[in-house]
Chain A
Amino acid sequence: KNEVEQSPQNLTAQEGEFITINCSYSVGISALHWLQQHPGGGIVSLFMLSSGKKKHGRLIATINIQEKHSSLHITASHPRDSAVYICAVWGSGGGADGLTFGKGTHLIIQP
């Protein structure tokens, strides 16, 4: 069973700061997902990646398959970025295995 670890667990930063959230996993995967969850529960998929780097607006996600590590970066952070960011992985069996989730990083961006 894959173990997914995220760091930090909690992060408070000032508006405009560059944010990095890290994710490591223990067993080979077919894909890694970064998700955003706001209070109340709704989850939004930010990225799904299996290699390299993806960028969407101020968000950048990278993955290093050999090191079993991924990072989510937020540039020019804004209070509306405050949320829980969750890393989740698909095992080598693909989507049929279901996602294994990290415990999430609670991010607060102060104005």
Chain B
Amino acid sequence: DAGVTQSPTHLIKTRGQQVTLRCSPKSGHDTVSWYQQALGQGPQFIFQYYEEEERQRGNFPDRFSGHQFPNYSSELNVNALLLGDSALYLCASSWQDNEQFFGPGTRLTVL
């Protein structure tokens, strides 16, 4: 079992661009949550997907959107990138409301 995987590992973009991050959940998991972790801070909840629907959303603007596919994998899209969007983006998967398992993260740098 590969566990939770994320791609890419690192990404550099410029302000105003758009980015798509990808997450494959652990085998048997059906729920994917996304978190943003700024340098030196704890992660912040962005949103959660279950049964291909956004189930809950944290305090993030509409520039942040996502999708879950029938195979439970998920994408996080960020439009009109700002310098402040530079962070580590973490994906976590679980089977419904059980323990979450985290991926290695994607480090996004916005120049």
Give the B-binding residues of A (Cβ under 8 A). Answer: 4, 30, 33, 35, 40-45, 48, 86, 88, 90, 93-104
- Chain A hits for B107, CB < 8 A: 41
Given A95-B94, A99-B33, A104-B42, is A45 in contact with B100 using a C-beta cutoff of 8 Å? yes
Does B58 sit at the interface, judged by CB under 8 A?
A: yes
- Chain A hits for B31, CB < 8 A: 95
Asked if A33 and B97 sit within 8 Å, CB to CB, the answer is no
Most buried by B among A42, A88, A99: A99
Residue of B nearest to A41 (CB): B105
Measured CB to CB, the closest approach of chain B to A7, in angstroms, equals 14
Measured CB to CB, the closest approach of chain B to A61, in angstroms, equals 13
- Chain B hits for A48, CB < 8 A: 98-100
- Chain A hits for B45, CB < 8 A: 97-100
Our pick among B44, B48, B88 for the contact of A95 (Cβ within 8 Å) is: B48
Measured CB to CB, the closest approach of chain B to A53, in angstroms, equals 17
Q: How far is the CA of A33 from the CA of B43 in the complex (A)?
A: 13
Does B78 sit at the interface, judged by CB under 8 A?
A: no
Measured CB to CB, the closest approach of chain A to B4, in angstroms, equals 10
Q: How far is the CA of A99 from the CA of B50 in the complex (A)?
A: 15
